Structure 1
Amino acid sequence: MPSKPAPIKKAAKKEPAKKEEKAPEPAPEVAPAPAEGEAAPAEAAPAEGEAPAAPPAEEPKAPTPPPADAAPTDEAAAPVAADQPATDAALPATEETPAAPAEAPVDAAAPATEETSAATKAPADATTAPATEEAAPAADSEAPADAEAAEAPAPEEPKPPTPPPPPPKEPTSVPLDLFVEDKNDTSVTIIWSQPETVGPSGLDGYTIEVCKDGTEDWKAVNEDLQKSCRYVIKNQTTGDRLKIRVVAVNAGGRSPPVTLPEAVLVKEVADRPKVRLPRFLRQRYVAQVGAKINLTIPFTGKPKPVVTWTKNGQPLDTKRVNIRSTDRDSILFIRASERDDSGVYEMCVKVDDFEDKASLILQIVELPGPPASVKIVDTWGFNVALEWTPPTDNGNTEITGYTIQKADKKTGDWFTVLEHYHRLNATISDLIMGNTYKFRVFSENKCGISNDATVAKEEAKITKTGIEYKPPEYKEHDFTEPPKFTTSLNDRATTVGYSTKLLCSVRGCPKPKVTWMKNQMIIGDDPKFRQICVQGICSLEIRKPGNFDGGVYSCKAKNDHGEATVSCKLEVKQPAVADADKK
């Protein structure tokens, strides 16, 4: 185990005091300082037979930082073992450390021995040991023979290989997509995108340069390189036109510049222009010929936008269309519209370099013309087939249908046969025999039915033909069928003295004969029973039945085609008698 460290500063303070008490006589010759890694000369060792003075035992203290003029020992020096005598062989001698006298008295070795012991107490894992200017190395005569081998310097570390020369540095490609984001009376805000090719040298930043329009005196407006792709060019004069460009900079130098295509006017745009086209004008606006057109289209923008109108890409005819514009809207006014006023109208609002457009489609319509031609294709029986062609003038809108009318030549009155009819041919039926008819057709669109109609040149005459009526032959239906009970008898229970009825229903053709039976015996005309059969409903009433009137009752229906029977059971119960009556 290594010995406990002792503060070096404390040992250094003790040495001057002892030197004052017993100062050695100056040596006639000064011995040279031992070389680094070698043991001190034997003359500096203590007298033979004397043990080195051991330092007094003290409690371990925190290590004191070495003096400023202390020199570190060789990194390759080995720590001193605890069981070896303390020597200064492991400490290199500094240039300022004096050599020990050749023949020093025994008492003179005490300071060195004490100082050496203090140095021996240094931590074993320390790579350097400080030495003061006043400490003199003393050789220990009892040092092990392999001390020199343990203090040999470590071999030098191999040097790292020489790195290859760096690649040549190249500037980046030109920045992309430069345009103006916003501007006001004193500043212009621009944005752009970074270069497509940056290169191995990276990108340090951007330089923004401006010059007045008409000159080439480019000046940088940013002192430091701009890192982001957005910059506000401030402190400009209102009304100036500036040319702006951006250059990317890296270790390879400046890239080619990207320049705005047009000079920028330094002027405030508080609100970009925007046309607020009403919803009903986003689709086709239809009006009839002669109607008054008054359309208001609001817009926004500051300062006041410049409003322009075009029709089908051409300037408006101010004699036909009036435009009235205010700070907030523009009015398109036509006093009496005509079909020629139809077209695509485009409104444009512009503030400096910013503009907005909106289009509306105006369609002026009127009643269509009549069909081009109408003719009778065929006549047979009470029917006439007609065909016609669409009108040459549809009223500037699509045809939605046709109306067909007929007139009897005798009366001359016209009656509508078909209306809102979409086809170009029709068959007129239910005409009166012996009459002669005329036909005409009207066209129809959004505005209504055409004022005129096209009349067929031909007339349709429904001729009389001989008709012989032959009544159809009907085969008489056979309604005969055997009897069949549609409702059967149900079992009944009654009390002595209380009348009851049995009901059933039967059908058959011819009408079947109904017979009631009790226990397979025909009842006949017994006055106790009442038999009724009306509309196929058969009933048997048993008047005040007695104890012997219970049993199985049957109803049999019979005709020429067969017979049928239904039965039920009748139970006659005794009336309940009270307990008092029994007693």
Structure 2
Amino acid sequence: PDSTDADGESITINWAPPTHDGGNPVQYYIVERREKKTVSNPSNISMPIKCAEPTEEPDGPSIINVTDTTNTSVSLEWTRPGYDGGMEVQGYIIEMCKATEEEWRRINEDLCTVTKYTATGLETGAEYKFRIIAINAIGKGKPKEISEPVKAVDRLTAPEIEIDASFQQTHIVKSGGSVCLRIAFKGKPAPSASWVKVDGELGVMADVTTTENVSCLTLENCTRNDSGKYTLALENSSGSKSTTFTANELTDPIIATAEPAPPKRLDIIDTTDSSVTFAWLKPEHDGGSRITSYCIEGKAKGTDKWVVAGTTKNLTHTVERLTEGTEYEFRVKAKNDAGFSEPKEAFSSVIVKEPRIEPTADLSGITNQLITCKTGASFEIDVPFSGRPAPKVTWKLEEMRLKETDRFTKLTVLDTTIDDSGEYTLEVKNITGVITEKIKVTILGKIMP
């Protein structure tokens, strides 16, 4: 077609008829149009997008903790959302407002891709509220707010000593050798550190080096005079803390005992929504001295720092106060007088969650699932059951609900009458499923003379 006229609102076009009408006269013409478009310069590169079926926005972070404060800053750490909406969480928005206000403002220009952030430039002594929003490819999740406002002040804490699980309270050193007692600590304001020998004075070869968070006592060219107990004392305006170590010098260069072998295995035997229970076997050899304890260490999967999760003299241990839905790795070490063994790691990581087990009920104690009772007497139906999470139990007589509980399956009926006869239904239900069992009860009437 050709354009014969055009203005700001219309265009007139004309065209020649088809050279061939297909054997029938042309009845009418259909005119179509479309916008003429060109390609612009490319936009900025998007965030990486995972190819997955989208569902919805993520939940908010599970837990938010205030890890530190100063006169001008607040440091936050949080756990990832329990549900990511079906798409990978791309990052987090941190918002803040003063405690007396409700106008939230974003304080991180770029998405925070890690689960910690420090808000700076705050007003000294002012109280602030913070909330964190997780974002995936669908959009923003619901904000998660800290439990209470936090004040921008220097946090004063009493001294704390940070001893690694492998650190030995007793050190055995050869005659003429050296030993270094290196202790990490923390506290605000920074504590002062001092070393003393419990039953005497520090030797002339003793050297003490202290920084803001580490103090080290080094004993060179040890003799019997260097044997004894050494105490590190820490003190600041918030409190004090001390710990004592023993150094034993041996003229014989051969140490009587060695570290034990690792425990033979580490099994995960149970989980809940906040704990994991482990069991392990004794080491193949104890290194020449009795095993005194076991140390369990754990870390969130994907992190590097192992932390002590518990110590015990038993071959089982439950680690509690874990975050539901988080995946952890664990290991165990044996300890004797010479020190710790190499760690034995669990075969796989474990996700902290309540196991799901379908409910079951045991009616083996009720013969033929039939109970017979005389009028005026009483009868009892007691059925053991199991399931995870703990099932809800409902009793019905015919279609009338009698009792609902999540702890017991015992039903007691006193002073029975004929009306108590019938079919009793037991329903045991949790999120994994439901089972029903039927028990027939017959009440025998009194025999008339």
Greater RCO (Cα-Cα under 8 Å, separation 6 or more): 2
> Do Structure 1 and Structure 2 share a fold, with TM-score over 0.5?
no
From the two aligned structures, give the one with the greater helix fraction.
Answer: 1
From the two aligned structures, give the one with the greater strand fraction.
Answer: 2
Larger Rg: 1
